[in-house]
Amino acid sequence: MGITIERQEKEKITLIAILLAGSCFLTYYFHEVLETGIVFTHVFYIPIILASLWWRRKGLGVAIFLAVFLIFSHHFLGDYVVTSNDYLRSLMFVVVGFVVALLSERIAKNEEALREREAQKKAILDASVDRIRFVDKDMRIIWANQTTSRELNVAPEDLAGQP
């Protein structure tokens, strides 16, 4: 399982790198090829939101990078004046990244609390001396406690799906 998590992480990093390269290319294209100071920055939100979702507050680095890149691109890629609009967009990159990171952290915390409560409920039901089974609408066992498993002499996971 550790290998797949490492692979997923490498895929995420690769995707963010590609999106950042695309954002940088768009900035270059608008400044140098089209010779305009207007940058198509809506695309910048894609890597910002993905990085903040995946890496939470660590993903803010992507938002900060793009914000700084937007400001300095005016100096390095042309003689354009940085406007208050650019500063506002840069600030919005960081704000959006921060909000998404906070929401992602809250979701992760709630999921962990839910897993803990489910484990507690399962432990309580497993400790019961009564036979307890959860069944679906077709009356097939979804889950059975240890008492049911012992009395029927069948492993709990083998009971799943049985009528």
Q: What is the pLDDT of residues 101-159, one digit of tens each?
A: 999 999 999 999 999 998 898 888 778 778 888 888 888 888 888 888 888 888 877 87
26 and 39 Cβ atoms separated by less than 8 Å? yes
Identify whether the C-beta of residue 62 lies closer than 8 Å to the C-beta of residue 51. yes
| Token duo for residue 141 | 């066992």
Sketch the domain layout of the chain as residue ranges: 2-109, 128-159
d(CA 117, CA 122): 9
- Distance, CA of 40 to CA of 66 (rounded, Å): 12
As a whole-number percent, the residues of the chain with pLDDT over 70 amount to 94
Q: Hey, which residues does 143 pair with through a beta bridge?
A: 134
pLDDT at 54 over 80: yes
- Classify the phi-psi angles of 78: left when phi > 0, otherwise alpha if psi is within -120 to 50, otherwise beta: left
pLDDT band at 98 (very low <50, low <70, confident <90, very high): very high
On whether the CB atoms of residues 18 and 35 are closer than 8 A, the answer is no
- ∠ CA 91-93-96, nearest 5°, is 105
pLDDT score of 81: 65
Of 58, 42, 41, 49, residue with least CA distance to 15:
49
Q: What is the mean pLDDT of the chain?
A: 87
pLDDT confidence tier of residue 78, bands split at 50, 70 and 90: low
Q: Over 80: is that where the pLDDT of 15 sits?
A: yes
